[in-house]
């Protein structure tokens, strides 16, 4: 089961959820089912101990989901 990051379109809460198949995801804060899956990046440790994000950002707070952050 993959873990996905979501943002609630009602209360703007950000959360992670284990998702199996086509199951419906609900916000743990307000219970709303109108949620948007976010694009995620993962972190990796480079040489010398620097932590870098692989990819180039993403996620809802770039303005793509309308959360206003």
Backbone dihedral angles phi then psi of residue 47, each to the nearest 5 degrees = -65, 140
Tens of pLDDT, residues 5-27: 999 999 999 999 998 888 899 99
| Total structural domains within the chain | 1
Give the pLDDT confidence score for residue 56 in this predicted structure.
47
Give the pLDDT confidence score for residue 50 in this predicted structure.
54
Q: Is residue 69 part of a domain?
A: no
Q: Is residue 17 part of a domain?
A: yes
- Give Dmax (Cα) for the chain: 44
Backbone dihedral angles phi then psi of residue 60, each to the nearest 5 degrees = -70, -35
Residue 49 and residue 57: Cα distance in Å, rounded? 20
Give the pLDDT confidence score for residue 20 in this predicted structure.
87
Give the pLDDT confidence score for residue 1 in this predicted structure.
66
Q: Is residue 30 part of a domain?
A: yes
Tens of pLDDT, residues 22-48: 889 999 999 999 999 997 666 556 665
Q: From the DSSP assignment, how many helices (H) and strands (E) are in the chain?
A: 0, 5
Which structural domain, as residue segments, surrounds residue 27? 3-62
Q: Is residue 33 part of a domain?
A: yes
């Amino acid at each position: 089961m993959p873990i996905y990051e979501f943002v609630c379109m009602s209360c703007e809460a950000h959360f992670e959820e284990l998702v199996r198949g086509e199951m419906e995801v609900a916000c743990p804060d307000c219970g709303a089912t109108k949620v948007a899956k976010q694009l995620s990046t993962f972190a990796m440790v480079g040489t010398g101990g620097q932590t870098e994000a692989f990819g180039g950002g993403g996620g809802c707070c770039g303005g793509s989901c309308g959360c206003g952050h």
